[in-house]
Amino acid sequence: MTNAIDEAKLADTDGFLARAALLEGSDGFSQIMQGSTAEARVFYRDFFAAVADNSQIDAFIRNADGKYIHTAVSSDRVEVTISDQPTMQTRGYDCWQAYVASYSFFAATTAICGAITAAGTPVAGVACALAFWGIGTLPDFNAACN
């Protein structure tokens, strides 16, 4: 792969740099490389710029910008699709502090609503739980990681 990059740089330096710049600024490439190291991002950007021509880069950008790229991996293949809708976020929090903040919030709200319910007003207890459930969607518990 490194040889292909070097050969493309030598054969058409200006074209290679232009394709790499287009990729670097594209939403699709940013989505694909999200979470990668800076070194990996540069390597794969350069490889893509080396093996694709201008029309292929333009088609990728045109088809991916403003869209969401989804990947599914099985034991024998990788499936990539592009859609107008994001996937469901299924990953957990970014650090242990975020888990502590989340569990603390829900423990406190459970204690408050539990006390209301124990006081003999189950309807108010349910309303309390529903209210705190809605409020619980607002905090960014990952902020505790900073």
Tell me the pLDDT tens digit for each residue of 67-116.
Answer: 877 767 667 776 777 788 776 655 577 788 888 888 787 777 778 877 87
Examine the domain organization and report whether 53 and 17 are in the same domain.
Answer: yes
Q: Confirm whether 50 is domain-assigned.
A: yes
Three-state DSSP state, 2: helix
Q: What is the mean predicted confidence (pLDDT) over 135-146? A: 75
Decide: helix, strand or coil at residue 68: strand
The domain containing residue 21 runs over which residues? Answer: 2-83
CA–CA dist 79, 71 (Å, integer): 6
Query: Tell me, what's the pLDDT at 138?
Result: 66
State whether 40 and 63 are in the same domain. yes
pLDDT at 29 over 80: yes
Residues 53 and 106 in one domain: no
- Determine contact, residues 97/144, Cβ cutoff 8 Å: yes
- pLDDT score of 130: 74
Vertex 25: Cα angle to 70 and 93 (nearest 5): 45
Is residue 126 included in any domain, yes or no? Answer: yes
Mark whether 65 and 131 lie in a shared domain.
Answer: no
* Separation of alpha carbons 12 and 5, rounded Å: 11
Q: Is the pLDDT of residue 136 over 70?
A: no
Is 7 found in the same domain as 63?
Answer: yes
Quick one: 68 and 123 in the same domain? no
Domain count, the chain: 2
Residues 141 and 114 grouped into a single domain: yes
Question: 93-126 as b/e, with b when 16 or more CB fall inside 10 Å?
Answer: beeeebeebbeeeeeebeeebeebbeeeeeeebe
**63 shares a domain with 125:** no
The answer to whether position 19 is within a domain reads yes
Both 36 and 71 in one domain: the answer is yes
Specify the pTM: 0.53
Helices (H), the chain: 2-11, 13-24, 27-33, 38-51, 54-64, 96-118, 122-136
Verify that 79 and 15 share a domain, yes or no: yes
Domain contains 90: no
The one-character DSSP state at 69 is E
